[in-house]
Protein backbone atom coordinates (compact mmCIF):
# COMPACT_ATOMS: atom_id res chain seq x y z
CA UNK A 1 0.00 0.00 0.00
CA UNK A 2 1.19 3.52 -0.76
CA UNK A 3 2.30 5.82 2.05
CA UNK A 4 -0.59 7.17 4.12
CA UNK A 5 -1.50 10.86 3.81
CA UNK A 6 -2.56 12.96 6.77
CA UNK A 7 -5.09 15.73 6.22
CA UNK A 8 -4.79 18.66 8.64
CA UNK A 9 -8.06 20.11 10.02
CA UNK A 10 -7.46 23.43 8.22
CA UNK A 11 -6.52 21.98 4.80
CA UNK A 12 -8.25 20.95 1.60
CA UNK A 13 -6.28 18.70 -0.74
CA UNK A 14 -6.85 18.98 -4.48
CA UNK A 15 -5.60 16.27 -6.85
CA UNK A 16 -5.37 16.89 -10.60
CA UNK A 17 -4.48 13.76 -12.54
CA UNK A 18 -3.97 12.89 -16.22
CA UNK A 19 -6.20 10.04 -17.39
CA UNK A 20 -3.70 7.97 -19.35
CA UNK A 21 -4.60 4.34 -19.90
CA UNK A 22 -2.79 1.17 -20.91
CA UNK A 23 -3.45 -2.55 -20.71
CA UNK A 24 -2.03 -3.18 -17.22
CA UNK A 25 -3.79 -0.13 -15.74
CA UNK A 26 -7.12 -1.11 -17.25
CA UNK A 27 -6.75 -4.66 -15.97
CA UNK A 28 -6.01 -3.27 -12.50
CA UNK A 29 -9.06 -1.03 -12.71
CA UNK A 30 -11.33 -3.91 -13.69
CA UNK A 31 -10.09 -5.94 -10.72
CA UNK A 32 -10.31 -3.14 -8.12
CA UNK A 33 -13.49 -1.30 -9.10
CA UNK A 34 -16.82 -2.58 -7.84
CA UNK A 35 -19.26 -4.35 -10.13
CA UNK A 36 -21.43 -1.23 -10.18
CA UNK A 37 -18.46 0.94 -11.22
CA UNK A 38 -17.46 -1.48 -13.97
CA UNK A 39 -21.05 -1.63 -15.20
CA UNK A 40 -21.22 2.17 -15.33
CA UNK A 41 -18.04 2.27 -17.41
CA UNK A 42 -19.43 -0.31 -19.83
CA UNK A 43 -22.48 1.86 -20.51
CA UNK A 44 -20.33 4.32 -22.44
CA UNK A 45 -20.52 3.67 -26.18
CA UNK A 46 -16.98 4.69 -27.08
CA UNK A 47 -14.04 2.76 -25.67
CA UNK A 48 -12.06 5.93 -24.94
CA UNK A 49 -14.79 7.04 -22.54
CA UNK A 50 -14.96 3.59 -20.95
CA UNK A 51 -11.20 3.66 -20.42
CA UNK A 52 -11.19 7.16 -18.95
CA UNK A 53 -13.97 6.24 -16.54
CA UNK A 54 -12.06 3.15 -15.41
CA UNK A 55 -8.79 5.05 -14.87
CA UNK A 56 -10.54 7.99 -13.20
CA UNK A 57 -12.25 5.80 -10.62
CA UNK A 58 -9.17 3.66 -10.13
CA UNK A 59 -7.17 6.79 -9.29
CA UNK A 60 -9.97 8.01 -7.01
CA UNK A 61 -9.80 4.76 -5.04
CA UNK A 62 -5.99 4.75 -4.96
CA UNK A 63 -5.85 8.31 -3.63
CA UNK A 64 -8.66 7.96 -1.07
CA UNK A 65 -7.16 4.72 0.23
CA UNK A 66 -4.07 6.67 1.33
CA UNK A 67 -6.22 8.85 3.58
CA UNK A 68 -8.32 5.99 4.96
CA UNK A 69 -5.49 3.50 5.45
CA UNK A 70 -6.99 0.49 3.67
CA UNK A 71 -6.58 -0.99 0.20
CA UNK A 72 -8.35 0.67 -2.76
CA UNK A 73 -10.47 -2.44 -3.31
CA UNK A 74 -11.85 -2.34 0.25
CA UNK A 75 -13.28 1.18 0.01
CA UNK A 76 -17.05 1.27 0.10
CA UNK A 77 -19.23 4.17 -0.95
CA UNK A 78 -22.77 5.35 -0.44
CA UNK A 79 -24.83 7.99 -2.25
CA UNK A 80 -27.41 10.44 -0.95
CA UNK A 81 -30.91 10.79 -2.39
CA UNK A 82 -29.58 13.16 -5.06
CA UNK A 83 -26.77 10.83 -6.14
CA UNK A 84 -23.78 12.49 -4.46
CA UNK A 85 -21.27 9.82 -3.34
CA UNK A 86 -19.39 9.68 -0.04
CA UNK A 87 -17.40 7.13 1.89
CA UNK A 88 -19.69 4.74 3.77
CA UNK A 89 -19.45 5.92 7.39
CA UNK A 90 -20.74 2.53 8.59
CA UNK A 91 -17.69 0.86 7.05
CA UNK A 92 -14.97 3.49 7.49
CA UNK A 93 -14.21 5.40 10.68
CA UNK A 94 -12.41 8.25 8.94
CA UNK A 95 -14.37 11.48 8.55
CA UNK A 96 -13.37 13.00 5.22
CA UNK A 97 -15.48 14.43 2.45
CA UNK A 98 -14.55 14.19 -1.21
CA UNK A 99 -15.82 15.11 -4.65
CA UNK A 100 -14.75 14.01 -8.10
CA UNK A 101 -14.96 15.57 -11.56
CA UNK A 102 -13.41 14.67 -14.89
CA UNK A 103 -13.24 16.20 -18.35
CA UNK A 104 -11.48 14.77 -21.39
CA UNK A 105 -7.99 13.73 -20.21
CA UNK A 106 -8.05 15.23 -16.71
CA UNK A 107 -9.66 14.41 -13.38
CA UNK A 108 -10.04 16.56 -10.28
CA UNK A 109 -10.48 15.12 -6.80
CA UNK A 110 -11.01 17.34 -3.76
CA UNK A 111 -10.72 16.06 -0.17
CA UNK A 112 -11.72 17.87 3.03
CA UNK A 113 -11.81 16.91 6.73
CA UNK A 114 -15.32 16.59 8.17
CA UNK A 115 -17.03 18.83 5.65
CA UNK A 116 -18.69 19.32 2.30
CA UNK A 117 -16.89 19.94 -0.95
CA UNK A 118 -17.80 20.23 -4.60
CA UNK A 119 -15.38 20.35 -7.53
CA UNK A 120 -15.59 20.79 -11.28
CA UNK A 121 -13.01 20.59 -14.04
CA UNK A 122 -13.71 21.55 -17.64
CA UNK A 123 -11.60 21.53 -20.76
CA UNK A 124 -11.58 25.09 -22.09
CA UNK A 125 -13.25 24.71 -25.49
CA UNK A 126 -14.24 28.00 -27.17
CA UNK A 127 -16.97 26.28 -29.22
CA UNK A 128 -18.78 25.39 -25.97
CA UNK A 129 -18.82 28.95 -24.59
CA UNK A 130 -22.03 29.98 -26.32
CA UNK A 131 -24.25 32.86 -25.22
CA UNK A 132 -27.43 30.82 -25.73
CA UNK A 133 -26.10 28.36 -23.15
CA UNK A 134 -25.27 31.22 -20.80
CA UNK A 135 -28.77 32.63 -21.16
CA UNK A 136 -30.25 29.26 -20.13
CA UNK A 137 -28.08 28.67 -17.07
CA UNK A 138 -26.59 32.01 -15.92
CA UNK A 139 -28.32 34.82 -14.04
CA UNK A 140 -29.06 38.21 -15.57
CA UNK A 141 -26.08 39.81 -13.81
CA UNK A 142 -23.77 36.97 -14.88
CA UNK A 143 -24.89 37.42 -18.48
CA UNK A 144 -24.32 41.17 -18.30
CA UNK A 145 -20.77 40.54 -17.06
CA UNK A 146 -20.19 37.91 -19.75
CA UNK A 147 -21.41 40.19 -22.56
CA UNK A 148 -18.97 42.86 -21.37
CA UNK A 149 -16.12 40.58 -22.43
CA UNK A 150 -14.81 39.71 -25.89
CA UNK A 151 -12.56 37.11 -27.48
CA UNK A 152 -10.84 34.63 -25.22
CA UNK A 153 -11.76 36.71 -22.15
CA UNK A 154 -15.40 35.82 -22.81
CA UNK A 155 -14.50 32.13 -23.12
CA UNK A 156 -12.61 32.30 -19.83
CA UNK A 157 -15.49 34.15 -18.18
CA UNK A 158 -17.95 31.52 -19.40
CA UNK A 159 -15.94 28.65 -17.91
CA UNK A 160 -15.27 30.61 -14.71
CA UNK A 161 -19.02 30.88 -14.24
CA UNK A 162 -19.81 27.32 -15.30
CA UNK A 163 -17.20 25.61 -13.11
CA UNK A 164 -17.91 27.75 -10.03
CA UNK A 165 -21.66 27.14 -10.22
CA UNK A 166 -21.14 23.42 -10.79
CA UNK A 167 -18.70 23.08 -7.90
CA UNK A 168 -20.98 24.97 -5.51
CA UNK A 169 -24.12 23.02 -6.44
CA UNK A 170 -22.24 19.72 -6.20
CA UNK A 171 -20.92 20.76 -2.80
CA UNK A 172 -24.46 21.39 -1.55
CA UNK A 173 -25.30 17.81 -2.50
CA UNK A 174 -28.70 18.56 -4.04
CA UNK A 175 -27.81 17.71 -7.63
CA UNK A 176 -30.09 18.98 -10.38
CA UNK A 177 -32.87 19.77 -7.92
CA UNK A 178 -31.39 23.29 -7.80
CA UNK A 179 -31.62 25.49 -10.89
CA UNK A 180 -28.17 26.97 -11.76
CA UNK A 181 -29.91 30.35 -12.01
CA UNK A 182 -30.78 30.09 -8.30
CA UNK A 183 -27.21 30.98 -7.34
CA UNK A 184 -24.79 33.61 -8.61
CA UNK A 185 -20.99 33.73 -8.86
CA UNK A 186 -18.27 36.08 -10.05
CA UNK A 187 -16.83 35.35 -13.49
CA UNK A 188 -14.72 38.24 -14.81
CA UNK A 189 -11.08 37.24 -15.50
CA UNK A 190 -8.92 38.36 -12.58
CA UNK A 191 -11.92 38.80 -10.31
CA UNK A 192 -11.76 36.82 -7.02
CA UNK A 193 -13.93 33.68 -7.13
CA UNK A 194 -16.95 34.41 -4.94
CA UNK A 195 -20.55 33.31 -4.50
CA UNK A 196 -22.65 36.45 -4.87
CA UNK A 197 -26.00 34.79 -4.13
CA UNK A 198 -26.53 31.53 -2.24
CA UNK A 199 -29.00 28.92 -3.43
CA UNK A 200 -32.42 29.03 -1.72
CA UNK A 201 -31.81 25.63 -0.11
CA UNK A 202 -28.68 26.94 1.65
CA UNK A 203 -29.66 30.26 3.30
CA UNK A 204 -27.09 31.76 5.61
CA UNK A 205 -24.37 29.22 4.83
CA UNK A 206 -20.77 30.26 4.31
CA UNK A 207 -19.02 28.83 1.24
CA UNK A 208 -15.56 29.51 -0.15
CA UNK A 209 -14.57 29.24 -3.81
CA UNK A 210 -11.17 28.54 -5.36
CA UNK A 211 -10.21 28.52 -9.06
CA UNK A 212 -7.23 26.80 -10.66
CA UNK A 213 -5.82 26.52 -14.18
CA UNK A 214 -4.18 23.31 -15.33
CA UNK A 215 -3.00 23.67 -18.89
CA UNK A 216 -6.09 23.89 -21.08
CA UNK A 217 -8.42 23.08 -18.19
CA UNK A 218 -10.20 25.24 -15.63
CA UNK A 219 -11.01 23.97 -12.15
CA UNK A 220 -13.27 25.22 -9.38
CA UNK A 221 -13.45 24.05 -5.77
CA UNK A 222 -16.28 24.97 -3.38
CA UNK A 223 -15.88 24.29 0.37
CA UNK A 224 -18.32 24.89 3.21
CA UNK A 225 -15.75 26.86 5.24
CA UNK A 226 -12.39 28.58 4.89
CA UNK A 227 -9.50 26.12 4.42
CA UNK A 228 -5.93 26.26 3.09
CA UNK A 229 -5.82 24.73 -0.38
CA UNK A 230 -2.93 22.38 -1.14
CA UNK A 231 -2.59 21.11 -4.71
CA UNK A 232 -1.44 17.53 -5.08
CA UNK A 233 -0.52 15.26 -7.96
CA UNK A 234 0.24 11.60 -8.48
Total structural domains in the chain? 2
Distance between CA 196 and CA 194 in Å, rounded? Answer: 6
User: 218: which residues sit within 8 A by CB, 6+ positions away?
Assistant: 121, 122, 124, 156, 159, 160, 163, 211, 212
Pairing of strands 195-197, 96-103: unpaired
In this structure, is residue 217 part of a structural domain?
yes
Q: Which of 89, 114, 139 is the last residue of a domain?
A: 114
* One domain for residues 53 and 124: no
Residue 1's pLDDT is 58
Distance between CA 175 and CA 172 in Å, rounded? Answer: 8
Domain membership of residue 44 as a residue range: 11-114
In this structure, is residue 6 part of a structural domain?
no
Instruction: State whether residue 105 is helix, strand or coil.
Output: coil
pLDDT in tens, 57-69: 999 999 999 999 9
- Three state DSSP letters for 170-224: HHHCCHHHCCHHHCEECCCCCCCCCEEECCCCCCCCCCEEEEEEECCEEEEEEEC
In this structure, is residue 225 part of a structural domain?
yes
**Between vectors from CA 92 to CA 229 and to CA 167, what angle results, nearest 5°?**
35
Residue 234 reports pLDDT greater than 60: no
In this structure, is residue 65 part of a structural domain?
yes
Residue 52's pLDDT is 96
Q: Which of 114, 146, 174 is the last residue of a domain?
A: 114
pLDDT in tens, 178-208: 999 999 999 999 999 999 999 988 877 889 9
pLDDT in tens, 95-135: 899 999 999 999 999 999 988 999 999 999 999 999 999 99
Amino acid sequence: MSERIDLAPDEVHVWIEILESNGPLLAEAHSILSREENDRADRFVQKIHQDRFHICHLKKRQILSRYVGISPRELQFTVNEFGKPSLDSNKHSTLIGFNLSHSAERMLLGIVPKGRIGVDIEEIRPESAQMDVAERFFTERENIDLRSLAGFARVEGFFNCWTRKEAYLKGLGYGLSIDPKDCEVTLLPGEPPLIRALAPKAPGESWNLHSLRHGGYLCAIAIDRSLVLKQKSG
